[in-house]
């Protein structure tokens, strides 16, 4: 046990300073719509606060509110609103991020296997061009990527395992970011003027363990995100330029500890860090460490 | 309980901004009095815009600089300074955000003689605000 703890700690600190972690409340938390034990309740509210560290000296505080309505044993609908405060050398910038609407359909369980599918959309509250004192800010400081995204996903629940697969596809690009490295005053962030973002594919495996009194649940999971192409931006000469190394694989480790406060409510504590990262991460989704607390209330 | 929850939510979601070391008012670029004036032109507004002042291009120690002289313009959400080959923003160099700076250095790789206009353009809403056709001095 001590060895495992030591390995985990070493891995965590080795990746702390140059990594991309689980990012916005988008693809990383997409599988939440699949999971609910409180099947006797028709509604669920979630309040979450997430603290994370990003590129350079950036720190984030990112709360969100989510509401899930279960229409019957098969259909449910989730809506979510995110907010983000980014603090670093450019200053502090806070703003609403995105609104999510996600529909979820669960198929009948067969031989301990249960499939479900989801379809959802993400709508940005900003064009990803927030400024401070008229200075453009890197995407790392923006509360949203400024894209309308489509989510398509599926989940297989088998005994204590959950396997998710999903795509996050930008379908309308509203990004009007105007940050140029040439004029930013620092080398820490790449140019992202009129940023064009490529889709992501997600694979996640989660193992659930419960204590005998059912009060605590542990859900360690590993999350693979593949960025399906190189992002691009418009350079100072008005030419579109691909960002080499912005495609590729990110692997995150994540552990969720859930405590059942009552039949209706629970607290979840989240820890996440990346183990494999893309060479270049211009989208501002870089997190080296994520810690979160979530309160869930069913009624 | 409901009030406390409401107040907490409002505090958590309050929008704000605070300047940092990289967004504090930066030292203004200046043009040396000995610099050579190479091109100049008066700004003309597009429909519904108010603008006054001139665009001037100086050469200082091998570095070209656009200077906005006696300049003021209607406010806009995302105004940029372009050095352009035409009176529309189709082939241009983005010299950066229009801020309280009045001097905008031109990258050394640029052949300035190929450019005929200085434009003030709102990039976010793709709206041209002002045009200064350049004349060689």
The predicted complex's ipTM stands at: 0.87
Q: Give which of A171, A200, A202 is closest to A281, Cα–Cα.
A: A200
CB pairs under 8 A between A and B: 90
Strands B36-42 and B135-136: antiparallel
Tens digit of each residue's pLDDT (9 = 90 or more) over A96-117: 999 999 999 999 999 889 999 9
Can you give the pLDDT at residue B25? Answer: 80
Residue A164: give its domain's CATH number. Answer: 2.40.160.40
Please give the model's pTM, rounded to 2 decimal places. Answer: 0.87
Q: Which residue of A has its CA nearest to B21?
A: A89
Q: Give which of A190, A49, A142, A176 is closest to B17, Cα–Cα.
A: A142
Tens digit of each residue's pLDDT (9 = 90 or more) over B72-114: 999 999 999 999 999 999 999 999 999 988 999 999 999 999 9
Distance from CA of A50 to the nearest CA of B (A): 11
Contact of A88 with chain B, judged by CB distance below 8 Å, is answered with: yes
Can you give the pLDDT at residue B16? Answer: 82
Can you give the pLDDT at residue A213? Answer: 86
Q: What are phi and psi of A74, to 5 degrees?
A: -110, -40
CB contact under 8 A, A129 and B12: no
Q: Rounded to whole angstroms, what are the CA distances from B88 to A87, B46, B84?
A: 38, 11, 7
Q: Which residue of A has its CA nearest to B16?
A: A94
Total domain count, chain A: 1
Least confident of A5-19, A193-207, B22-36, B88-102: A5-19
Give the position of tokens 């607290």: A267
- CA gap B89, B124 in Å, rounded: 13
Buried b (16+ CB within 10 A) or exposed e, A113-150: ebbbebebebebbbbbbbbbbebbbbbbbbbbbbbbbb
* pLDDT, mean of residues A159-184: 95
Task: Write out chain A residues lying below 8 Å of B20, CB-based.
Answer: 88-92, 132
| Pick among A48, A81, A94, A99 to test the B interface (most B CBs inside 10 A) | A94
For residue A192, pLDDT beyond 70:
yes
Can you give the pLDDT at residue A95? Answer: 93
Tens digit of each residue's pLDDT (9 = 90 or more) over A201-245: 999 999 999 999 889 999 999 999 999 999 999 999 999 999 999
DSSP-derived 3-state class of residue A111: coil
User: Does the CA dihedral A137-A139-A143-A145 come out positive or negative?
Assistant: positive
Domain that holds residue A253: 2-298
């Amino acid at each position: 046990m001590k060895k495992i703890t030591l390995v985990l700690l070493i891995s965590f600190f080795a990746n702390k300073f140059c990594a991309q972690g689980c990012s916005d409340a988008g693809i990383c938390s997409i599988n939440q719509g699949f999971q609910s034990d409180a099947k006797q309740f028709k509604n669920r509210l979630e309040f979450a606060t997430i603290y994370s560290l990003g590129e350079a000296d950036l720190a984030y505080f990112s709360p969100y509110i989510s509401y899930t309505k279960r229409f019957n044993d098969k259909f449910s609908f989730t809506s979510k609103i995110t907010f983000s405060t980014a603090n670093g050398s450019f200053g502090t910038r806070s703003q609403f991020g995105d609104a999510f609407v996600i529909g979820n359909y669960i198929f009948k369980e067969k031989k301990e296997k249960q499939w479900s599918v989801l379809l959802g959309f993400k709508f940005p509250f900003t064009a990803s061009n927030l400024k401070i004192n008229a200075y453009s800010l890197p995407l790392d400081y923006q509360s949203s990527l400024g894209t309308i995204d489509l989510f398509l996903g599926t989940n297989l629940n088998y005994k204590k395992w959950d396997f998710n697969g999903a795509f996050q596809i930008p379908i309308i690009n509203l990004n009007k970011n105007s940050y140029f490295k040439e004029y930013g005053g620092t080398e820490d962030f790449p140019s992202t003027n009129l940023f064009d973002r490529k889709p992501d594919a997600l694979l996640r495996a989660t193992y659930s363990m419960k204590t005998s009194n059912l009060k605590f649940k542990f859900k360690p999971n590993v999350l693979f995100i593949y960025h399906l192409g190189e992002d691009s931006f418009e350079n100072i000469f008005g030419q579109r330029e691909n960002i080499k190394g912005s495609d590729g694989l990110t692997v995150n480790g994540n552990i969720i500890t859930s405590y059942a406060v009552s039949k209706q409510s629970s607290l979840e504590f989240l820890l996440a860090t990346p183990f494999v990262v893309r060479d270049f991460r211009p989208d501002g989704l870089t997190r080296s460490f994520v810690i979160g607390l979530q309160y869930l209330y069913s009624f | 309980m409901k009030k406390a929850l409401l107040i907490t939510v409002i505090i958590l979601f309050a929008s704000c901004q605070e300047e940092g070391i990289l967004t504090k008012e930066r030292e203004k670029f200046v043009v040396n009095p000995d610099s050579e004036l190479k091109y100049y032109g008066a700004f003309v507004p597009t429909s519904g815009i108010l603008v006054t002042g001139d665009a001037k291009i100086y050469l200082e120690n091998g570095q070209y600089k656009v200077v906005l002289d006696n300049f003021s313009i209607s406010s806009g959400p995302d105004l940029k300074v372009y050095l352009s080959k035409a009176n529309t923003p189709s082939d241009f160099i983005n010299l950066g955000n229009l801020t309280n700076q009045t001097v905008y250095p031109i990258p050394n790789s640029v052949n300035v003689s190929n450019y005929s206009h200085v434009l003030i353009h709102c990039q976010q809403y793709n709206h041209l605000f002002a045009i200064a056709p350049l004349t060689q001095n």
